[in-house]
Amino acid sequence: MNKTKNLNICYIGGGSRNWAWVLMKDLAAEKDLSGTIKLYDIDVEAAEANEKIGNDLMAQHNPGQWKFKAVSDLKEALNGCNFIFLSILPLDFTEMAVDVHLPERHNIYQSVGDTAGPGGMIRALRTIPMYQEIASAVEKYAPNAWVFNYTNPMTICTRTLYKQFPGIKAFGCCHEVFGTQKLLAHAAEDAGLAPKGSIKREDIKTNVAGINHFTWIDKASWRDVDLFPVWDAFVQKYYQDGYDEGGDSNWLNNFFSSMDRVKMDLYKRYGLIAAAGDRHLAEFCPPSWYLSSPEQVKEWKFTLTPVNFRINMREDLKKKSLAYKEGKEKMEISDSGEEGIVLMKSLLGLGDIVTNVNLPNRGQMPGFPLDAVVETNAVFSRDTVNPVAAKAFPQSLHSLTMVHVGIQEGIVEAAFERNLEKAFLVFLNDPQIHKLSINEARALFDEMVEKTVPKKFGYK
Amino acid sequence: MNKTKNLNICYIGGGSRNWAWVLMKDLAAEKDLSGTIKLYDIDVEAAEANEKIGNDLMAQHNPGQWKFKAVSDLKEALNGCNFIFLSILPLDFTEMAVDVHLPERHNIYQSVGDTAGPGGMIRALRTIPMYQEIASAVEKYAPNAWVFNYTNPMTICTRTLYKQFPGIKAFGCCHEVFGTQKLLAHAAEDAGLAPKGSIKREDIKTNVAGINHFTWIDKASWRDVDLFPVWDAFVQKYYQDGYDEGGDSNWLNNFFSSMDRVKMDLYKRYGLIAAAGDRHLAEFCPPSWYLSSPEQVKEWKFTLTPVNFRINMREDLKKKSLAYKEGKEKMEISDSGEEGIVLMKSLLGLGDIVTNVNLPNRGQMPGFPLDAVVETNAVFSRDTVNPVAAKAFPQSLHSLTMVHVGIQEGIVEAAFERNLEKAFLVFLNDPQIHKLSINEARALFDEMVEKTVPKKFGYK
Amino acid sequence: MNKTKNLNICYIGGGSRNWAWVLMKDLAAEKDLSGTIKLYDIDVEAAEANEKIGNDLMAQHNPGQWKFKAVSDLKEALNGCNFIFLSILPLDFTEMAVDVHLPERHNIYQSVGDTAGPGGMIRALRTIPMYQEIASAVEKYAPNAWVFNYTNPMTICTRTLYKQFPGIKAFGCCHEVFGTQKLLAHAAEDAGLAPKGSIKREDIKTNVAGINHFTWIDKASWRDVDLFPVWDAFVQKYYQDGYDEGGDSNWLNNFFSSMDRVKMDLYKRYGLIAAAGDRHLAEFCPPSWYLSSPEQVKEWKFTLTPVNFRINMREDLKKKSLAYKEGKEKMEISDSGEEGIVLMKSLLGLGDIVTNVNLPNRGQMPGFPLDAVVETNAVFSRDTVNPVAAKAFPQSLHSLTMVHVGIQEGIVEAAFERNLEKAFLVFLNDPQIHKLSINEARALFDEMVEKTVPKKFGYK
Amino acid sequence: MNKTKNLNICYIGGGSRNWAWVLMKDLAAEKDLSGTIKLYDIDVEAAEANEKIGNDLMAQHNPGQWKFKAVSDLKEALNGCNFIFLSILPLDFTEMAVDVHLPERHNIYQSVGDTAGPGGMIRALRTIPMYQEIASAVEKYAPNAWVFNYTNPMTICTRTLYKQFPGIKAFGCCHEVFGTQKLLAHAAEDAGLAPKGSIKREDIKTNVAGINHFTWIDKASWRDVDLFPVWDAFVQKYYQDGYDEGGDSNWLNNFFSSMDRVKMDLYKRYGLIAAAGDRHLAEFCPPSWYLSSPEQVKEWKFTLTPVNFRINMREDLKKKSLAYKEGKEKMEISDSGEEGIVLMKSLLGLGDIVTNVNLPNRGQMPGFPLDAVVETNAVFSRDTVNPVAAKAFPQSLHSLTMVHVGIQEGIVEAAFERNLEKAFLVFLNDPQIHKLSINEARALFDEMVEKTVPKKFGYK
C-alpha cells in the first residue's frame, strides 16, 4: 500500500561505473524509500559486479532498504517498474573515437563530440534505433513507469522515446545547468555576499531555456539578490584570464574542465548566461568562434576531450570495480549533487521541486516547434512533470538555436525512416560542416556511418 | 539596501472594506516585511477611514512595520511603487444591478453576473477604459512595480493591462481554485485519509488550466495520494444531495455558497474537476444546463446572488467601518487564506511558490491563442512569475472554453476601439444570449450600455 | 501515352439519379476527354440502370468517347483509377428522417439537417466509418487518383479521407458558393451594369473563406467593378421582402429555395457576404436567429426541407430512370453549371482555374486549426490543387465559425475512436442543442444513435 | 468613371535607366490603359531625362495614352496615386562596392551581394530607413494605392513597407523565377516535346515557395506534361558541363549569366528545382559549396559580378540616355517579359493571373513565421493579391531557409530600433560570416557600416 516502499526500479546500462555508482552512493543515504534496482546491461559481467558492489554498499550504510539485482532479460528488467533509468554508451568508445577524431582530418575539432557537430549527429544515427527499441519495450512492459534519461545526445534520445511511444512518461536529466548555478554561487561569494563555499547550488534560482547543452539563463537570484549585476561584475573581473574554480582539477590537467571564458564571452555578446560547460557551448557555435584550431581552444582555456582519455579512465574504473567487488577497496559515499533521487521522491509525492529538464515542447519554448525536445525549468510533483514556460528568445539567439533544433528534428526523422540521404542533407546544415565542400562532407559522412552505424539497423 | 523593508505599496481601490481589510489583517501578522501602503480611492472618505483603521490595527498587532496613508492623487499613489494592488468596483452597484437583473426580463439568470454572460460583457465595456487609464499610469509612474489584480472580470482586466502597457509586470489573483482545493481536502478527510480539518489547503497539489472562473484540474494530490479516485468516490456519495461544507453558512442562507452539485455534475461528464464555485461555473455553460430558471438553480443547490444583497452587505460594512474607525469596535485578525503577501514575499526573493494565476498565454495553454489571458499554475520567484505549461484540453472542453476566450478577446478589441457595433457582434456569441432573437438581443444590449457605460468613455 | 484519353474513372454512388446524371449530361458535351466510368453502388440495380442510360446518352450525343460500366466490386471499381467521384447517401432516407425530424419533438428545427445541428452530427457518426473504409480502399487500389467528394457532411467526409489516408489527393466540391455568385450577378444586372441574364456566374470573382455551407466572401468583383457597393444597394432594396430569383421555382413551392433574407441579414450585421443558401446558413447560427419555429422560418422566407419531399422526389426519379432505361423517355442534355469536368481537365493540364473547394487547412485559413477542413479558393493546375490563403476573420465571426470547427474536429475524433461518450460531449456544444437540458440532450442523442447508427460500426 | 483610364502612377526611382525604361517600352505597347507616370528621383536630372525620353517614345508608338512627368516633390508624386513603383538604388555604387568587395579581404566572395551575405545585410541597414520613410509617405498620401516593389534586398524592403504601414497594399516582384521557367521551357524543347523556341515562359506552370532569390519549385508542368522527369533527364545530360542558353551572352562574357550548374547540383541533392539564378542561389548556401574561391566559382561556371562592371554599364546607359533625350538615338521597343503591366491590369479587374510574388506570410508558407516576407504564387484579381498556400518544406531545406528568414527578421528589427549591437548579432548568423573569428567579423561589420550607412539614419 505504501507507495514509497518496495519500489521497483530498472537501470538500463546498469553495468555503468559512472552514473550507476553515483546512484548507489545516493541511495546509500536514502532512508525514506526502499526497493529493488534491477541492473540491466548488455555487459552482463559489469551488471553483476555492480549487483555485488551495490549490495555490499547497502549492507554497510543502509541495510534493509535497497537490493541490487543484475537482470539479463530486458522484459524481466522492465516488468512492473515504477522508475527506469537510462544511461548507456551507444556502442563503444571505438565508435566514439570515430565520432570525435575522424573529422579532425578536416580540421573539425570537437570538444566533446556527443551532442552537436559531426560526432553528435552520427552518434544519434546509431542511438536512435536503440532508443526506439527501448521505448517499445517500455510501452510493452512498464508503460506507467517514469523514465529518467541520462544518455547523450540527450535531446535526440528523449525525442526518440516520445516519438516511438507518445504516452511515455520520460524526461531527460542533465547536470550542466547545475555547474552554472555553482559558478553563480561562486560569483556571489566572490562579490562578498557570503563566505566562500557557503552558498548552496540549490539556492541559486534560475530561469532556464533552450536546448540541452545550449541552455540559457535570463534571470538568476540568490535569496533577494539579483545575480545579473553580480555576474556582470564577475565577467569584467575574470573575462581576460578566465576563472579557476579552485581545487586540484583545472582545464590544464582535466579534460572536463574549463575557465568559463566561452560562457563569459557569450554573455558579453548576448546578455544572457549560457548554462552549460564551455566544451558543450562551443560546439553549438560557428567553429570559427572557439573551435577553429587546438590553439584557439587553448586560448579560450577549455579542452578537446580525447576519447583515449575516456578509455583510460574506464580502465581505471574497471580496476576499481574489481577492487570494490572483491572487497579490496571500499566505495566512499558522498552527496553527488545529482537530483535523480530527489526527483524520484518528488514524483512519489514527497515534496515538490522546480528544476530544469528536457521535455517535448508543448508551448514552454515560444517560437520553437512543438514536440521538439527543449530544456526548461519544470515543476515536479506527485506523478507529474510540468514544464515552466520560458520567454521568447531574442531573434539572433533564436536563429542560432533553431539551426540545431532543425538538425535534431531532421536527424530523428531520417533515422526513423533509416534514410541516409535525408540524414546527409541534415548533416550539411551543421555549422561545423560548413567548412567542407559537399564532396568532402559526403566522404566524411559515409566513412563515419560505415565505421560506426551497424548494418543491422537497416539504414539505406 | 534591504529590499524587504520600507516597501512602497499602492492599493488602488484602497477604500475597499473587503480585500483591503483582508490585506490589513494579513499584514498585521507579517513581520518579515515593512513599508507604507498608499490607499487610493475615488471614494476619498473610505480611503481615509481605512488609513485610520489600518494604522490602529498595526499599532495594536504589529507596531512599527506598516503605515497606511490615504492618497488622493493617482500619480502620488503610484510613484516609486514596488507593488500595486488593484481591487475596484467598476462604478457602482447601481450598474451591477443592471448587469445582473435587467437580463432577467428575458429569463436570463446570472448567478454572479461579473464574468461571463451579459453582465460580465457589459461590465467589461465600462471596466476596460478604466483599466487602460490605470495601465498608462503604471507605465508612467511605476513601470517596474508588480501589479496584483483582484478586480473582475479578471481575465479582461489583466488582458487590458498588458494590451495597454505590454511591459507591465501584472497577474491576476483569484481564490476560486483555493475553494476547490479545500473541497478536495474535505474529500480526503471524508475518505478517512486524515482526521477532519487536519489537511491544509496549501498541501493539496493541483494542475490548474483554463480561464478564470472556468479552470480545471486534471491532477490532484495530497502527499503521495492521488486524489482522483478519492474525488470520484466522493462524487458517487454526494452527487445526489450535494455536499454541505458544514458551518453556519450554506446555500440556503448565504448567497455565495453552493452544494457543489454543478462541479460534481461537470466531473461526471468531463472527468476533470472544475476549479471554481458553482455560481461561476454555471455561467460558462449553456444556460439550459443549470441556469434556465430560478427553480433549476434551486435543484442544483446554488444561488442567484442578488445585487441587493451586496448593497445590504455594504451598508453593514460601512457601519462596521465607522465602528472600527471610531474605535468602537476592534477588527479581529485571522489568517485570510489569501496569498497576496506570500506572493509578494516570493517576488522579493523570500521563497519560491507554485500557485495558480492569470497571465497572458505565451504557450502555457496549448491550443489557445497567444496573448489571451489564461489561468494556470505559475512559479513565483524573485522578481519572476513564470506560467507552468498545461496539457491540451480534450476537444469538447476546448470548444466550450474557446467560446469565452473568443468573447473576451472580442470584447477587449471592441472596447479598445470604443466600437459598440463590434461589441454587439461579440455579445451575440455568448450562450446566455442565444435564447434571444437578434432584435431582443440588440434592445437588451443597447439598454444595458445606456444604463451602465458612461458617455465619457466615448463609445460609438 | 496521351493522358487525356482512355481515362479510368470510378463513381462511388454510381446508381445516383442526381449527381451521376449531372455528370453524364456534362460528359455528353465533353469532346476533349474520353474514357470509362465505372459505376459502383451498393444498389447494383441502380448502377446497372445508369450504365444503360449513360451509354445510350453517349451513343446519341458523344459516340465513342465515353463508356459506362456498372461494377459491383469495390476493388475492381477503384483499380487503376485516375479519378474517383464520391457521392453517396449515408444509408437511407429512413435515417435522414430521424436526423431531421426527431429533434423537432424538442422544437429543434433543421432546414437541411445534413451538415450542422443534431442531424449533421449524427449523420457524421454513421458516415465516418463508411468513409474510413473508402479511404483505405483508395490507398490500396488507387493511391494516386484524384478524389472528388460531393457527399455531406462535406467537411467531415473530406476530413475523414485525409485522416484515414494522409497521402490522399482529395477535395470536396460544393456548389453553394456558385449560388451566391449567381446572386451577385443578378445584383449587378439589377443595378443596370449589364442586361438581365447576361453576366455569367464564372465571371463573378470572389474571395471565399470559411467552412462548407458557412463560407464568406470579403471581396467580389465583376470585371473592373467592385460588387460590394452594388450588393449593399441590393440589400437596401430587397432586405425587407426578400429577393425572388424569378422562374417558376421559389421558396413557396420549392423546398430548396429561399428569398436570401438570411444572407442579407447576415451581411447587414457582419459586412461580409455569406456564400451559401439560407437553409444552410441558418443552421450554423444560434437557432433563435432564424430557426426558433416554423413561423420564424416563414418570416425569413426559407424552408424546412421535409425528408418526405426527398423521398417523393426519389420516387419520381426512379420512374424517370426506368423510362430512360427502357428508352421511353430521352434524357435532355444541358450545361449543369457544375465544375466537375472543368476541374478534371484542369488536373489533366488542360487549363488552370481558380475556384472554391474544401481542403485540410495548411495555413489558408489563418487562426483556424491546421488539418481541419476549410473552404477557400484554390488554384487547380496539372495534378495540383493549392489552396489560396484567406485573410483572418473578424473575431466575432471567427468565434461563430470555431464553434462548428470544434464540433467537426471533435466528432471525427470520437468517430475514429467509436466513442459515443466523447461524441455526446461534442454534441452538447452545438448551439441547436443548447435549448435542451442535459438529460433531454442525452435522450435525444441516444435515440438518434440507436435509430440511425448501425451496430456493426462498433460504437461504444 | 472608367477605372482603366487616366491612371495616376508614381515611379519612385523614376530616373532609372533600367526598370523605368523597361516599363516605358511595355507601356508603349499598352493600349487598354492610359494615364500619367510621375517620375520621382533624387537624381532630378535623370528623372527629367526620362520624362523627355518617355514622352518621345509614346509620341511615336502610343500617342495620347501615356504622359511622363518628372516630379521633384514626394508628396506631389504620391498624391492620389493608383499605383506606385519602387525601384531605387539604395545610395550609390560606391556603397555597393563596399558591400560586395570589402569582404573579399577575408576571402568572402559574393556573386551579387545585394540580398544575403554581408553585402545584403549591410545594404539592408541603409535601405530600411529609406523604406520606412517611403511607407509613411504612402500611408499619408496614397494609402489605397498598390505598391510594386522592385528594389533589393526584396524581402527586407517588402517587410519594411508592411511593418511601417500595416495597411499597405504592397508586394515584391522579381523575375528570377521567370528565368527558371524559361529554362524549363528549354528543357522541354530539348527533350523534343516542342520545336526550339516555341514554348512560352508563361505556359510553364510552377508551384513556387521559399524566400526571394532562394525559391523552390516542387511541381512544374507544361500543358499535360509533368516537367520533373524532363528536368531530371536534362540534369543528367547537362550537369557535368553546364547548360548554355545560347545567344551571344554567356557566363564568360556576361556577369549576369551562368551555366545553371548550381541549380542542377541543388536539384540532385534536394529533388526540388531552385528557382533563381545561380549567382543568387549560391549566396544562400554555406560558402564552401560554391563560393569558397574565385576558382570554385569558375568551376561552377557562374560569376562574381564586380561593381565596376555595374558602374561601367551605367556610364554606357547615361550616354544612351543622352542620345535618347537628344533624339540622336531611338529607343527600340520590345516585349520585356516583365509582368508589371499585366499585374496592374489584373488589379484593375481586366483578367486574373497566378504568378509568384513576395508577401508577408499569413499562412502560405507552413512552418515559417507569420509576417516574415516569403515568395510564393499568388492570385491577382481586381484590387486583390492573395497568396497561394505552399506545402511544408522538407526539414533540411526548411532549416537552410530559416537561417535567412531569421537573419531578415533580425535585421529588420535591429534597423527599426537603429540598434547596431542587435544587427551585429544577426550578422554573425550568416553562413558567409562563419569563417571569421568574432573579432574579424566585428571589424568587418564596423567598417562596412562606417563606409555605407549614413550617420543621419541615427544608428547607435
Provide, as residue numbers in chain D, all residues whose Cβ is less than 8 Å from the Cβ of A413: 395
CB contact under 8 A, B436 and C288: yes
Residue D319 bridge partners (DSSP): none
Q: Residue A354's closest chain B neighbor by CA?
A: B379
Burial track D230-240 (b if 16+ CB lie within 10 A, e otherwise): bbeebbeebbe
Nearest Cα residue to B225 out of A3, A143, A34, A147: A3
In this prediction, residue A4 carries a pLDDT of 87
C26 to chain D, closest Cα gap in Å? 21
- ω into A153 cis (within 30 of 0): yes
Contacts of D443 (CB under 8 A, 6+ apart): none
Q: How far apart are the C-alpha atoms of A169 and A376, rounded to whole Å?
A: 17
Identify whether the C-beta of residue A382 lies closer than 8 Å to the C-beta of residue A146. no
Grid cell listed for D3 = 477605372
Chain A and chain B share a number of CB contacts under 8 A equal to 107
Is residue D289 less than 8 Å (CB to CB) from chain A? yes
- Residue spans of beta strands (DSSP E) within D260-306: 273-274
Is residue A117 less than 8 Å (CB to CB) from chain D? no
CB contact under 8 A, C292 and B399: no
Is residue D200 less than 8 Å (CB to CB) from chain C? no
Q: Is C234 left (phi over 0), alpha (psi -120 to 50) or beta?
A: alpha
Mean pLDDT estimate for chain B: 96
Is residue B254 less than 8 Å (CB to CB) from chain A? no
Q: How far apart are the C-alpha atoms of A410 and A416, rounded to whole Å?
A: 10
Report the pLDDT averaged over residues A357-385. 98
- Considering CB atoms only, which of B362, B382, B388 is closest to A221? B382
Is residue D223 less than 8 Å (CB to CB) from chain C? yes
Mean pLDDT estimate for chain C: 96
- Considering CB atoms only, which of D292, D426, D438 is closest to A396? D426
User: For chain C, which residues make up each domain, given as ranges?
Assistant: 176-299
Of the candidates A61, A101, A175, A186, the residue annotated as catalytic is: A175
Provide, as residue numbers in chain C, all residues whose Cβ is less than 8 Å from the Cβ of D384: 207, 219, 221
At B176-196, the pLDDT tens digits run 999 999 999 999 999 999 999
CB contact under 8 A, A349 and B219: no
Is residue C166 less than 8 Å (CB to CB) from chain D? no
Q: What is the DSSP letter of B34?
A: -
- Considering CB atoms only, which of B265, B407, B436 is closest to C399? B407
Residue C169 CB neighbours (<10 A): 20
- Choosing among C3, C6, C382, which should be mutated to test the D contact, i.e. which has the most D CBs within 10 A? C382
- Considering CB atoms only, which of A394, A396, A413 is closest to D395? A413
Contacts of B229 (CB under 8 A, 6+ apart): none
CB contact under 8 A, D383 and C219: yes
Q: Please say if A398 is a catalytic residue.
A: no
Is residue A390 less than 8 Å (CB to CB) from chain B? yes
Is residue A200 less than 8 Å (CB to CB) from chain B? no
Is residue A349 less than 8 Å (CB to CB) from chain B? yes
**Residues of C annotated catalytic, as ranges:** 175
Q: Residue C220's closest chain D neighbor by CA?
A: D382
At A144-195, the pLDDT tens digits run 999 999 999 999 999 999 999 999 999 999 999 999 999 999 999 999 999 9
Q: How far apart are the C-alpha atoms of A270 and D251, rounded to whole Å?
A: 43
- Considering CB atoms only, which of B395, B422, B431 is closest to C410? B395
Sign of CA dihedral D41, D47, D51, D57: negative
Contacts of A353 (CB under 8 A, 6+ apart): A339, A342, A343, A346, A379, A380
Provide, as residue numbers in chain D, all residues whose Cβ is less than 8 Å from the Cβ of C32: none
Burial track B169-208 (b if 16+ CB lie within 10 A, e otherwise): bbbbbbbbbbbbbbbbbbbbbbbebeeeeebebeebbbbb
At B1-58, the pLDDT tens digits run 358 899 999 999 999 998 899 999 999 999 999 999 999 999 999 999 999 999 999 9
D267 to chain A, closest Cα gap in Å? 12
In this prediction, residue A293 carries a pLDDT of 97
Contacts of A163 (CB under 8 A, 6+ apart): A371, A412, A416
Q: How far apart are the C-alpha atoms of D427 and D408, rounded to whole Å?
A: 10
Of the candidates D61, D101, D106, D175, the residue annotated as catalytic is: D175
In this prediction, residue A1 carries a pLDDT of 39
Q: How far apart are the C-alpha atoms of D300 and D292, rounded to whole Å?
A: 11
Subunits with at least 3 CB pairs below 8 A relative to chain A? B, D
Burial track C341-358 (b if 16+ CB lie within 10 A, e otherwise): bbbbbbbbbbebbbbbbb
A417 to chain D, closest Cα gap in Å? 13
Is residue C352 less than 8 Å (CB to CB) from chain D? yes
Q: What is the DSSP letter of C91?
A: S
Is residue D390 less than 8 Å (CB to CB) from chain C? yes
Residue A88 CB neighbours (<10 A): 23
A424 to chain D, closest Cα gap in Å? 9
Chain B and chain C share a number of CB contacts under 8 A equal to 93
Q: What would you measure as the largest C-alpha separation in chain A, in angstroms?
A: 63
Residue with cell 490602529: B56
In this prediction, residue B1 carries a pLDDT of 39
Q: How far apart are the C-alpha atoms of D357 and B99, rounded to whole Å?
A: 51
Identify whether the C-beta of residue C204 lies closer than 8 Å to the C-beta of residue C181. yes
Q: What is the DSSP letter of D214?
A: E
Residue C338 CB neighbours (<10 A): 17
- Considering CB atoms only, which of C288, C409, C426 is closest to B434? C288
Q: How far apart are the C-alpha atoms of B71 and B78, rounded to whole Å?
A: 10
Residue with cell 419533438: C105
* Touch between C and B (at least 3 CB pairs under 8 Å): yes
Statement: residue A25 has pLDDT above 50:
yes
- Choosing among D4, D82, D381, which should be mutated to test the C contact, i.e. which has the most C CBs within 10 A? D381
At C294-315, the pLDDT tens digits run 999 999 999 999 999 999 999 9
Provide, as residue numbers in chain B, all residues whose Cβ is less than 8 Å from the Cβ of A221: 349, 381-384
- Choosing among C379, C380, C383, C385, which should be mutated to test the D contact, i.e. which has the most D CBs within 10 A? C379
Q: How far apart are the C-alpha atoms of C34 and D396, rounded to whole Å?
A: 42
CB contact under 8 A, C394 and B422: yes
H, E, C per residue of A354-373? EEEEEEECCCCCCCCCCCCE
Q: Which amino acid is at A395?
A: Q
Identify whether the C-beta of residue A243 lies closer than 8 Å to the C-beta of residue A259. yes
Identify whether the C-beta of residue D60 lies closer than 8 Å to the C-beta of residue D329. no
At A96-107, the pLDDT tens digits run 999 999 999 999
In this prediction, residue D2 carries a pLDDT of 56
Taking chain D (460 residues) in runs of 10, the rounded mean pLDDT of each run is 83 94 93 96 96 96 95 96 96 96 98 97 98 98 98 98 98 95 97 96 97 98 97 98 84 84 98 97 97 97 95 95 95 88 96 97 97 98 98 96 98 98 98 95 98 97
Chain D contacts in chain C segment 121-150 (CB below 8 A): none
Nearest Cα residue to B388 out of B365, B371, B370: B365
Q: Which amino acid is at D45?
A: E
Q: Name the percent of chain D in helix, strand, coil, to the closest 5.
A: 45, 15, 35
Alpha helix ranges (H) inside A250-352: 261-270, 278-284, 287-290, 294-299, 307-325, 340-347
- Considering CB atoms only, which of A223, A382, A389 is closest to B362? A389
- Considering CB atoms only, which of A426, A431, A434 is closest to D395? A426
At B403-433, the pLDDT tens digits run 999 999 999 999 999 999 999 999 999 999 9
In this prediction, residue C251 carries a pLDDT of 78
- Choosing among B106, B283, B285, B395, which should be mutated to test the C contact, i.e. which has the most C CBs within 10 A? B395
The pLDDT-based confidence of A246 (bands split at 50, 70, 90) is: confident
DSSP codes of every residue in D11-28: EETTT-SSHHHHHHHHHH
